[in-house]
Structure 1
Amino acid sequence: MAVQKSKVSRSRRGQRRSHDSLTARTLAQDPLTGETHLRHHVTPDGFFKGRQIVTTDVED
């Protein structure tokens, strides 16, 4: 079983945990359609970097 050799101070513990916080997802806006999407992902309309990559069939 792992047992520490000496007490870890609050400061040292906090320094270790300083990078554990969560960050918000980065969103981007498509330049052509103006739709908001996750960065490096295709928009629901099938656009990526202003070009249509995937064609979607819209049923009316």
Structure 2
Amino acid sequence: MAVQKSKVSRSRRDQRRSHDALTAKTLAQDPLTGETHLRHHVTPEGYFKGRQIVNIESDD
């Protein structure tokens, strides 16, 4: 098993982990409403895969 020769600073450790945040979020479009949303997430209107999952009630 590999053993480090000296302590890795927080700065160097975090620099190694920082590149994951640079990737763009993948967007999807709901087939029924055409809304754009994050993949594997419900749309703002409550639809997922063309079906209404969450009933969003308006304040009007």
TM tier, smaller: 0.5 to 0.7
Could you tell me which runs of 5 or more consecutive residues in structure 2 were left unpaired when the two chains were aligned. Answer: 8-15
Residues 9-58 of structure 1 show CA distances to partners (whole Å, capped at 9, x for unaligned) of xxxxxxxx7xx362100000000010000000001100000000010111
TM-score by length of 2: 0.64
TM-score by length of 1: 0.64
Q: Which residue of 1 aligns with 2:59?
A: 59
> Between the two proteins, what is the percent identity of the paired residues?
71
Runs of 4 or more, structure 1, over 3 Å off, are none
Q: Radius of gyration: which is bigger? A: 1
* Paired amino acid for 1:45: E
Q: Which residue of 2 aligns with 1:36?
A: 36
Which structure shows the higher helix fraction?
A: 2
Matched pairs, number: 45
